Amino acid sequence: LRACELWNLPPAEVLMVGDRVDVDAAGAIAAGMPCVIIGRAPSSSPHASGYRVLRSLTRLHGVLTDA
């Protein structure tokens, strides 16, 4: 949220990219940010509908450039 303040952007316009569902996705969801987790998703997570999982940063680049 501090970065959003510094950039003068609402959290919904800032993409959180992380590698841990329990910390990164949970924090992003709580802040109202979209979230991408790089790596493998756990078999079950209470946040499963609040983030997208991509296997690599290369895939993230592909998703961002397709938008």
Q: What is the DSSP secondary-structure string of 1-65?
A: -HHHHHHT--GGGS-EEES-IIIIIHHHHHHT--EEEES---S--TTGGG-EEES-HHHHHHHHH
7-30 pLDDT, tens digit per residue, is 999 999 999 999 999 999 999 999
Flag whether pLDDT at 6 surpasses 80: yes
Average pLDDT, the chain: 87
Give residue 64's pLDDT. Answer: 84
Q: Which two tokens stand for residue 63?
A: 């998703």
**% pLDDT > 90, the chain:** 57
φ, ψ of residue 53 in degrees (nearest 5): -110, 130
Rg (CA), the chain: 12
